[in-house]
Amino acid sequence: METRFGETRVGNVSAGWNHLPEIGSTQIRDARGARIQTASGEWRDDYIMGWGSCFLGHDSAIIKDSIARSISGGFLQQYETEEHQRLSERFCAVVPCAEKLRLVNSGLEATMYATRVARAVTGRRMILKFEGHFHGLNDTLTWNVDSSARSGIRQASGELERMAGTVGIPRELGLLTIPVAWNDLDAVQRIFELYPDDLAGVILEPIALNLGCIRPDDGFLESLRAIATKYGALLIFDEVLTGFRANIGGAQAQLGVVPDIATFGKAFGCGMPIAGIAGRAEFMDVIAPRGPVQISGTNTGRYLAVAAASAVIEHLERSDAFQYVAAMEEALRKNLDSIFVKHGIPCHIDGYGGRIGVHMGSSVRPRSMRDIEKTYPIGFARKLFHLLSTEYGLYGFLMPLMYCPEPITLSAAHTSNMIGNACDRLDSALNRLDYHAD
């Protein structure tokens, strides 16, 4: 498309994450299933899938049909309807912690409001979070994340040096958040002992997908549950990435630990802009109009998005999408493992819900962001990603972030042939590169 204007989108992207490392932005003309077509007409296999949101593919018939049904009426309104009631009932019936649901527009809003609820319920100020866990770009939680300059140095108390994840956040806001290393139970216990009357809650990804899929140690979540209960703090699961990807009830259903509040997004709407906060009624009822906490917005609960999310939950309950994606994930993990062994590249691979973290540099399971930072060969990972992106027709496959891997993202639209082809291309690309640790 020719234009008489210069750059009118900042960096030629509407969202910063669309500017991928090493390759920049790619103009998309079309998207079907798990493939995208570039402006030049080339089709590429997509392994980002809307950053995990397009679980049913880019052109899901489920979403299409819900939109088609919706546009017969006043589909732009966001007032309360039977569809809103139907969605909340379906949601609360399948998610263990969900006695009540409040809709929002994004994962960022969901986590921001979840911590607001925790502060309102407890009358306390501080939130404990884990390094590398990403909860959206809100000012009090964008600390010690993968966009920080480095991992934080551990202090004697167990808390980590606060490292902002972006410029523009006053350092004073960081004082409201206490970062600790993932899986560091001693640090959690010590922080609660130091601040027993000032910790409102603990927020975490139950499986750290933003770190490239790092699971909690055995018993870690159960211990967090017990500690939070003992000290009267709320346990908040950020299920924006894990929700509706491996099972209908989220990671909390699979792991058997029920939080007080949980946040959802991405696969909740399977590409439509919707997110939610759910939790026990006694905590959710601090939200207006039941209580004094304000959580609302002009675009919250638009009928199109609500109808789509309701259709998604209904479909996921009765389809074999979760089983299909799990089978694709297992096949890809096995193929990747054999390829890295063949090329003598140490690697730890894990996945959840079709999101697969490939931790090159060590075959030992990392337990924290600092572990990854020490071993991940970022220079080699960037060269490999550039080659796979520019010469092998793969979009987002094995993408490196600052110093950890972005998970490969599968969907119900990926096929065994696509996975086989991706592995063949990876094998070929590795034949052209000499592995080196940084």
**pLDDT by position in tens, the chain (length 438):** 455 567 899 999 999 999 998 899 999 999 999 999 999 999 999 999 999 999 999 999 999 999 999 998 887 888 999 999 999 999 999 999 999 999 999 999 999 999 999 999 999 999 999 999 999 999 999 999 999 999 999 999 999 999 999 999 999 999 999 999 999 999 999 999 999 999 999 999 999 999 999 999 999 999 999 999 999 999 999 999 999 999 999 999 999 999 999 999 999 999 999 999 999 999 999 999 999 999 999 999 999 999 999 999 999 999 999 999 999 999 999 999 999 999 999 999 999 999 999 999 999 999 999 999 999 999 999 999 999 999 999 999 999 998 899 999 999 999 999 999 999 999 999 999 999 887
Amino acid at 299: N
- Which residues of the chain does CATH 3.40.640.10 include? 76-317
Would you call the peptide bond into 273 cis, given omega within 30 degrees of 0 as the criterion?
no
Q: How many residues does the chain have?
A: 438
How far is residue 357's CA from residue 205's CA, in Å, rounded to a whole number?
Answer: 15
CA dihedral sign of residues 325, 331, 334, 337: negative
Q: How many Å apart are CA 363 and CA 346, to the nearest integer?
A: 5
Closest by alpha carbon to 91, among 80, 76, 81, 102?
102
Best CA proximity match to 304, nearest among 98, 74, 107 = 74
Q: The tokens of 309 are what?
A: 């999310």
What CA–CA distance (Å, rounded) separates 403 from 398?
A: 13
Q: For residue 189, what are its two tokens?
A: 């216990």
CATH of span 10-59+320-431: 3.90.1150.10
* Distance separating alpha carbons of residues 95 and 252, to the nearest angstrom: 8
Three-class SS of residue 106? coil
Instruction: For residue 20, give the 3-state DSSP assignment.
Output: strand
Contact 273, 108 (CB under 8 A): no
Helix/strand/coil percent split, the chain, to 5: 35, 15, 45
What would the DSSP string read from start to end of 194-231? HSTTTEEEEEE-SSBGGGTSBPPPTTHHHHHHHHHHHH
Reported for 362-366, long-range contacts at CB under 8 A and 24+ positions apart, including other chains, are 365/214, 366/211, 366/214
Euclidean distance between CA atoms 14 and 35, whole angstroms: 20
Helix (H) or strand (E) holding 382: helix 378-391
Q: Give dist(CA 145, CA 406) in Å, integer.
A: 13
Q: What is the pLDDT of residue 201?
A: 98
CB atoms within 10 A of CB 391: 12
Q: How far apart are the C-alpha atoms of 102 and 280, rounded to whole Å? A: 12
DSSP string, 40-83: TS-EEEESSTGGGT-TT-TT-HHHHHHHHHHTTS-TT--S--HH
Contact 392, 433 (CB under 8 A): no
Cα separation, 218 vs 363, in Å, equals: 19
In this prediction, residue 402 carries a pLDDT of: 87
For the chain, residues classed under CATH 3.90.1150.10 are 10-59+320-431
- Strands 35-38 and 43-46 come out as antiparallel
User: CA 120 to CA 227: how far, in whole Å?
Assistant: 20
pTM of the model: 0.96
Per-residue three-class SS string for 301-326: CCHHHHHHHHHHHHHHHHCCHHHHHH
CATH of domain 76-317: 3.40.640.10
Which two tokens mark 81?
């309807």
How many angstroms separate the Cα of 288 from the Cα of each of 124, 173, 285, 296? 19, 25, 7, 9
